[in-house]
Amino acid sequence: MLPEPNTNEPPGRAGRMGLQDEGTHGIRGIAERAFSRFRALDSPRRSPSRPQTTLVTALHREPGARLRVLIVDDQRMIRDMLARELARESDIEIAGTAGDPEELLRTAASLRPDVVLMDVQLAGRTSCDAADRLRAILPDVVIVFLADRWPDSVIERAMRVEASGYLSKSESFEFLVEAIRQGAAGHTTVPDGMRNRLADGEERGAATRMATLTQREQQALEFIAQGYAKKQIAVAMGGSLKTVESHTTKLMKKLDIHDRVELTRFAIREGLVAV
């Protein structure tokens, strides 16, 4: 019988609290806290007004014309607050808002925005498929993704959309505005933290570090994150201790992570293990 993993660590407090448990005041609080993160102070590593970008293709529009932005998020309060704040920018016009993929496609076909600012997760699912369908309707539309968190699997899928921005909601609002402008000018914005997680450091067509793992290495990572010792992993995987050590060494090198605690955090972020 396979021995049980070590369970000395106290259970983590993770997961998203359902909105149905929050009440009206709580829902408003969630939206306000989420939006307030855009107003946070920038990291000292870079200026909020000059995000690092990669030149792609500029959006063709009339000189002096305002950027027409469609906002897509499954939380209405987030949509409304983003719309209100972005409308204060002299070069931005809010074309409309949408709360789900189907509404996005209908609204985009009707309003034909220049830029679509969309949460990478809508109703618990990635919005990348909707972004692909959007491209069929508006091939030249600028897409800027937002996310509460960016697991490697989501980064890799979003990169295939070839969007113009991949932003965390922890970025400043000013950084978001400049990323929209940069997208219209033909540049792609990828924050340093995400760029560093790409296997080759380049965003176009890049694979994430997670994608470089073999199936057996990923399996070993899952067992490590669940607290199994190397001998237990060898039993579970039907291999030798030497093979497990080889898998562990290779995955640590590929992920550039060199201790079990950080490997566990990585596996949780990627959704490989439940907490």
Q: Which domains does the chain have, with CATH numbers?
A: 24-195 (3.40.50.2300), 213-269 (1.10.10.10)
Q: Is the dihedral of CA 82, 83, 84, 87 positive or negative?
A: positive
Band of residue 173 on the pLDDT scale cut at 50, 70, 90: very high
Cα pseudo-dihedral 108, 110, 114, 120, rounded to 10: -10
Q: Which of 6-20, 61-75, 136-150, 258-272 has the lowest mean pLDDT?
A: 6-20
Q: Which of 57-71, 80-94, 203-217 has the highest mean pLDDT?
A: 80-94
Which helix (H) or strand (E) element contains residue 93?
strand 92-98
Cα angle 135, 141, 145 (rounded to 5 degrees) comes to 85
Q: What is the Cα–Cα distance from 244 to 237, expressed in whole angstroms?
A: 8
Q: Is the dihedral of CA 144, 203, 14, 42 positive or negative?
A: negative
Q: What is the Cα–Cα distance from 35 to 269, expressed in whole angstroms?
A: 22
Q: Which of 47-51, 98-102, 259-263 has the lowest mean pLDDT?
A: 47-51
The first and second tokens of residue 235, run together, are 């039993």
Q: Each residue of 73-94: pLDDT tens digit?
A: 999 999 999 999 999 999 999 9
The first and second tokens of residue 107, run together, are 């609204």
Mean pLDDT of 21-26: 39
Q: What is the Cα–Cα distance from 70 to 33, expressed in whole angstroms?
A: 22
Q: What is the Cα–Cα distance from 130 to 124, expressed in whole angstroms?
A: 13
Band of residue 60 on the pLDDT scale cut at 50, 70, 90: low
The mean of the pLDDT values for the chain is 78
Phi, psi of 188 (to 5 degrees): -110, 130
Do 217 and 247 form a contact (C-beta atoms < 8 A)? yes
Cα angle 142, 146, 147 (rounded to 5 degrees) comes to 150
Q: What is the Cα–Cα distance from 199 to 209, expressed in whole angstroms?
A: 5
Q: Please give the model's pTM, rounded to 2 decimal places.
A: 0.60
pLDDT over 50 (residue 96): yes
Do 179 and 187 form a contact (C-beta atoms < 8 A)? no
Q: What is the Cα–Cα distance from 98 to 183, expressed in whole angstroms?
A: 20
Q: How many CB atoms lie within 10 A of CB 272?
A: 19
Q: What is the Cα–Cα distance from 243 to 234, expressed in whole angstroms?
A: 8
Q: What is the Cα–Cα distance from 3 to 232, expressed in whole angstroms?
A: 7
Mean pLDDT of 6-12: 44
More confident residue, 30 or 131: 131
What is the Cβ-side half-sphere exposure of residue 127, based on CA atoms within 13 angstroms?
31
